[in-house]
Amino acid sequence: MKHEEISEDHSDPLIKALHRAIRVGIKLLAVLMVFVIFWSIADVVLVLYNKLASPPFFLLDINDILETFAAFLVVLIGIEIFINIRLYLGSNTFPVELVIATALMAIARKVIVLDLKLVTSEQIVGLGFVTLALGVAYWLVKHINNQVSNNQNQDHTLD
């Protein structure tokens, strides 16, 4: 299915050409995101190698573990962004649930690698509010999507 907002079936030839150009741009973003993902994976390998190859060998302290977690989470966030791009190109709905889940993962990464010595209490409270707001938004979107899905399933069983 084509995405409604950038449909290639528009009646105006200029708009049709612009929509086609935007779709090409989005496909280019998808290709670039794959490169970024592989680059991030290489970074994870490099971080682990550097940490394990320096004295004391094959031991990681808490900061090393947090840095490694951060590198892993960056890869996972990149994969989520790629999935967002792919879904945007391949469906007629904007993947709101996945976008919110990606934002939650990015906030989780920030919280995991947060150096409490460098942040203020206001920043921590702000992160808490953002996390809470994203969690509530995710729950609401998931709840509404489940209700819509259940209603559609009930409609099909009545036929």
pLDDT of residue 1: 34
Total domains in the chain come to 1
- Mean pLDDT, residues 55-77: 86
Residue 45, pLDDT score: 92
- List phi, psi (to 5°) of 2: -90, 150
Both structure tokens of 159: 């036929």
In the prediction, which pLDDT does 154 show? 75
Range of the domain at 24: 4-158
Query: Following DSSP, what letter does each residue of 90-133 receive, concatenated?
Result: H-SS--HHHHHHHHHHHHHHHHHT--TTTS-HHHHHHHHHHHHH
pLDDT at 156: 67
- 55-63: long-range pairs with CB below 8 Å, 24+: none
Q: Decide which of 56 and 90 is more confident.
A: 56
Q: How far apart are CA 87 and CA 105, in angstroms?
A: 18
> Half-sphere exposure of 12 toward its Cβ, with a 13 Å CA cutoff?
5
Which pLDDT does position 41 carry in this prediction?
95
User: Mind listing the pLDDT tens digit for each residue in 1-52?
Assistant: 344 566 667 788 888 888 888 889 989 999 999 999 999 999 899 988 988 8
DSSP state of 83: H
Query: Taking residues 106-121, what's their average pLDDT?
Result: 87
The enclosing H or E element of 21 equals helix 13-53
- Tell me if the pTM is above 0.85: no
Q: Where are the beta strands (DSSP E) in 5-106?
A: none
